[in-house]
Amino acid sequence: MERQNIPSGSIFEERYGHSRAVVVGNTVYVAGTTGYDYKTKQMSDDPAEQTRQTFRNIETALGEAGASLSDLVQIITYFTDHDDWDAIGGVLKEELQHIRPGNSGVRVDLIHPEMKVEISAIAVKGD
């Protein structure tokens, strides 16, 4: 089956040998994505805004793969502080209430202390 790698330009992709997303058949696998804004080169301190930017970054990768947020079937939401979960969860509802993919929330330490949320995703492209 044909494979297509979708890069984001993140330094982590080159440094650690991965792609923002990989397309195999009609399935898109989106790597862990954070709220870093590639246009401004900044990341908000607000967990809700980080989550919104994370979805913008995922949406960009999906778009390059010929998919959209409405094609999401599963996400895993990694977060660093239990006290941020309501803010993150509110944005999950905003973005996903009509899509309703499977979701697991996992509290973790992320690579950089300013990162409060990271989301990986799987989408199946519609016909």
Measured from the Cβ of residue 88, the count of other Cβ atoms closer than 10 Å reads 22
Tens digit of each residue's pLDDT, the chain (127 residues): 789 999 887 787 888 888 899 999 999 999 999 999 989 999 999 999 999 999 999 999 999 999 999 999 999 999 999 999 999 999 999 999 999 999 999 999 999 999 999 999 999 998 6
Q: Would you kindly state where each structural domain of the chain is located, as residue ranges?
A: 3-124
The burial of 78, by beta-carbon neighbours within 10 Å (0-12 exposed, 13-18 middle, 19 or more buried), is given as buried
Dist CA 102 CA 93 (whole Å) = 12
Give how far Cα 38 sits from Cα of 50, 52, 94, 103, Å. 12, 13, 22, 25
For the entire predicted model, the pTM comes to: 0.93
Q: Which pLDDT score is estimated for 16?
A: 85
Domain 3-124 adopts which CATH fold?
60s Ribosomal Protein L30; Chain: A; (3.30.1330)
